């Protein structure tokens, strides 16, 4: 069977056996297509049925989460944990709380996590979980009761050498705290079963900042290779959550100017550069809409989402040198990348998971726009989570500077590995191909070593 037929066969059986999981198919197809040169060079992956195995999670847990709201009414949500692949280490990956969450979304995230975690060079397998619970508009007490109910079931499936969840969209320090507290109450043990913990109770310094910082370090590596740097560059950033905020912060450290941010309701364009203190106050402290930013900075522009021109994201119509999609999947489409290209954007660096549509990626590659693919560019978060696990296991606490320096080294090594792998397969600089092949190869070879499991 030709490699193309092998890939088609896997896609077909995936769609047939797991109907309706659109985002999952998108993530699988992207990886399989880029693996083509490796599969041609190494027939052993076909012989050992690696593709057939790798697209099926080792285990998926789906459960009912029942909790009581402030009015005394019983509420119900669905909880998920997809333990995708443990070939190179215990399952590791975030939890997403957002009304859009379904099994297909958790599976796309879990599948990508396998290769991202492998790329970090650290011993962590791939997983993802979450719930269709919407933390927006809920009181702290409601969020706490939900988190406790969620952890009551999840606790049966995790452990510090088994599966270590963390944050993602809608899950930050507050949610990790409530879940950690509940795990401790149930088990009677103070264990590193989650990462992103508070720094007073087992968390690592720099974990909060790590994904955004890492994404900017990755962009700097890409530019350095071209003899360029971030200094003086104008950047557009989408999102205004954990990843976006610390992307913006690190861009200032690197003497670039971030001029946009966004949330689900709208976007801000501030030509003078986004005011980080105001952004943190609105989003981290008050959990409010970005509309508040324009009230504090009347010179900035606020555009509500419903006013975006048909099928475009207003953030990507702002002229920039570099774009950092850092909100959610499929937030940058073909129209958006054409707008960016027209306005002189030279690099797209993905802080979010799968933020660019397949058509946008095709356009990026065809037009030689520099590209930091998500699995590589946003791996700083999970890498630092593993540093948190290391500190927990050895009962140590490292300084901010020490963790930040390790993070920077890891991002450089992910860049180098992706770059060298792209060269090995005669497509120098195609980091998407390089990252996917490098991430896959280590996991696939480990699966072969471990036999029929
Ligand atoms: P947060 O919940 O902290 O922030 C998410 C941001 O994106 C918010 O501004 C939110 O707006 C916006 N957003 C979420 N969903 C949508 C949507 N459907 N449409 C428009 N805007 C939306 O999440 P993170 O910053 O942690 O995550 C952002 C991205 O980065 C995700 O793709 C995540 O998977 C990825 N990621 C996160 C890592 C981490 O360590 N946290 C690590 C690697 C990747 P609003 O405020 O209105 O909700
Ligand atoms: O997508 C991701 O890499 C994350 N949400 C972070 C996962 C982790 O375990 O820190």
In this structure, the answer to whether residues 99 and 159 fall within a common structural domain is yes
* Same domain (yes/no): 15, 69: no
Q: Are residues 145 and 252 in the same domain?
A: no
Residues 223 and 184 in one domain: no
Element (H, E) at 166: strand 163-166
Ligand 1 center from residue 269 Cα (angstroms): 19
pTM, two decimals, is 0.98
Distance of CA 379 from the midpoint of ligand 1 (Å): 15
Task: Show the domain range for 164.
Answer: 59-190
Q: How many residues does the chain have?
A: 453
128 a catalytic residue = yes
Task: Please indicate, yes or no, whether residues 136 and 166 belong to a single structural domain of this protein.
Answer: yes
Which among 92, 116, 128, 257 is annotated as catalytic? 128
Looking at 37, 54, 71, the residue that finishes a domain is 54
Does ligand 1 have an atom closer than 6 angstroms to the CB of 381?
yes
Q: Is 381 in the pocket of ligand 2 (CB under 6 A)?
A: yes
Q: Which residue's CA is minimally distant from atom 35 of ligand 1?
A: 352
Q: What pLDDT score was predicted for residue 310?
A: 73
User: Ligand 2 atom 1: the closest Cα is on which residue?
Assistant: 94
Ligand 2 touching residue 385 (CB < 6 A): yes
Res 334: pLDDT: 97
Contacts of 328 (CB under 8 A, 6+ apart): 169, 239, 352, 355
Positive or negative, the CA dihedral 287, 291, 295, 299 is positive
92 in contact with ligand 2, CB cutoff 6 A: yes
Q: Are residues 244 and 291 both part of a single domain? A: yes
What is the position in ligand 2's atom list of the atom closest to the CA of 164? 9
Cα 96 to middle of ligand 2, angstroms: 10
* pLDDT at res. 224: 98
Torsion region of 131: left, alpha or beta (phi above 0 gives left; psi -120 to 50 gives alpha): beta
Per-residue pLDDT at 307: 84
Q: Is 75 exposed, middle or buried (0-12, 13-18, 19+ CB in 10 A)?
A: middle
Confirm or reject: Cβ of 243 under 6 Å from ligand 1.
Answer: yes
Give strand ranges (E) for 72-143. Answer: 74-85, 91-97, 125-131
Number of compact structural domains in the chain: 3
Q: Which atom of ligand 1 is nearest to the CA of 328?
A: 32
Q: Are residues 28 and 127 in the same domain?
A: no
CATH number of the structural domain spanning residue 316 = 3.40.50.720
User: What ligand has the least distance to the C-alpha of 208?
Assistant: 1
Identify whether residues 137 and 215 lie together within a single domain. no
Q: Is residue 249 part of a domain?
A: yes
Contact 167 CB / ligand 1 (< 6 Å): yes
pLDDT recorded at residue 118: 99
One pLDDT digit (tens) per residue for the chain, 453 residues: 888 898 999 999 999 999 999 999 999 999 999 999 999 999 999 999 999 999 999 999 999 999 999 999 999 999 999 999 999 999 999 999 999 999 999 999 999 999 999 999 999 999 999 999 999 999 999 999 999 999 999 999 999 999 999 999 999 999 999 999 999 999 999 999 999 999 999 999 999 999 999 999 999 999 999 999 999 999 999 999 999 999 999 999 999 999 999 999 999 999 999 999 999 999 999 999 999 999 999 999 999 998 887 789 999 999 999 999 999 999 999 999 999 999 999 999 999 999 999 999 999 999 999 999 999 999 999 999 999 999 999 999 999 999 999 999 999 999 999 999 999 999 999 999 999 999 999 999 999 999 999
């Amino acid at each position: 069977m030709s490699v193309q037929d092998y890939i088609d066969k896997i896609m077909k059986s995936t769609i047939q056996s797991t109907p309706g999981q659109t985002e999952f198919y998108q993530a699988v197809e992207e990886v399989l297509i880029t693996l083509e040169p490796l599969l041609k060079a190494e027939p052993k992956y076909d012989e050992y049925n690696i593709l057939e195995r790798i697209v099926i999670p080792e285990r998926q847990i789906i459960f009912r989460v029942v909790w009581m709201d402030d009015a005394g009414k019983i509420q119900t949500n669905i909880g998920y944990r997809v333990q995708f692949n443990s070939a190179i280490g215990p399952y590791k990956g975030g939890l997403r709380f957002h009304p859009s969450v379904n099994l297909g979304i958790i599976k796309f995230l879990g599948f990508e996590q396998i290769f991202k975690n492998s790329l970090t060079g650290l011993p962590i397998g791939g997983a993802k979980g979450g719930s269709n619970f919407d933390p927006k508009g809920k009181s702290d007490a409601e969020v706490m009761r939900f988190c406790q109910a969620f952890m009551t079931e999840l606790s049966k499936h995790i452990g510090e050498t088994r599966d270590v969840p963390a944050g993602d969209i809608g899950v930050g320090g507050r949610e990790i705290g409530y879940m950690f507290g509940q795990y401790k109450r149930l088990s009677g043990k103070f264990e590193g079963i989650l990462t992103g913990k508070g720094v007073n109770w087992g968390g690592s310094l720099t974990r909060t900042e790590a994904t955004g910082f890492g994404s900017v370090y990755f962009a700097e590596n890409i530019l350095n290779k071209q003899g360029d740097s971030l200094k003086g560059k104008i950047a557009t950033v989408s999102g205004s959550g954990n990843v976006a905020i610390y992307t913006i912060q690190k861009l200032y450290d690197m003497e670039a100017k971030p001029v946009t941010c966004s949330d689900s309701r709208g976007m801000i364009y501030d030509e003078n550069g986004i005011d980080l203190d105001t952004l943190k106050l609105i989003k981290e402290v008050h959990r409010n809409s970005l509309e508040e930013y324009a009230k504090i900075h009347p010179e900035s522009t606020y555009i509500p989402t419903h006013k975006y021109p048909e099928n475009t994201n207003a953030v990507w119509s702002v002229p920039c040198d570099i774009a950092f999609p850092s909100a959610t999947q499929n937030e940058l489409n073909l129209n958006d990348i054409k707008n960016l290209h027209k306005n002189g954007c030279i690099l797209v660096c993905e802080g979010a998971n799968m933020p660019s549509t397949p058509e946008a990626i095709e356009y990026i590659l065809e037009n030689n726009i520099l590209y930091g693919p998500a699995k590589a560019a946003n791996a700083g978060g999970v890498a630092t989570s593993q540093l948190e696990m290391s500190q927990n296991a050895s009962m140590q606490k490292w300084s901010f500077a020490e963790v930040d320096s390790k993070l920077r080294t890891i991002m450089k090594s992910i860049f180098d590995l992706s770059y060298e792998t792209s060269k090995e397969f005669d497509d120098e600089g195609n980091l998407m191909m390089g990252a996917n092949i490098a991430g896959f190869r280590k996991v696939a070879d480990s699966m072969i070593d471990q036999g029929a499991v």
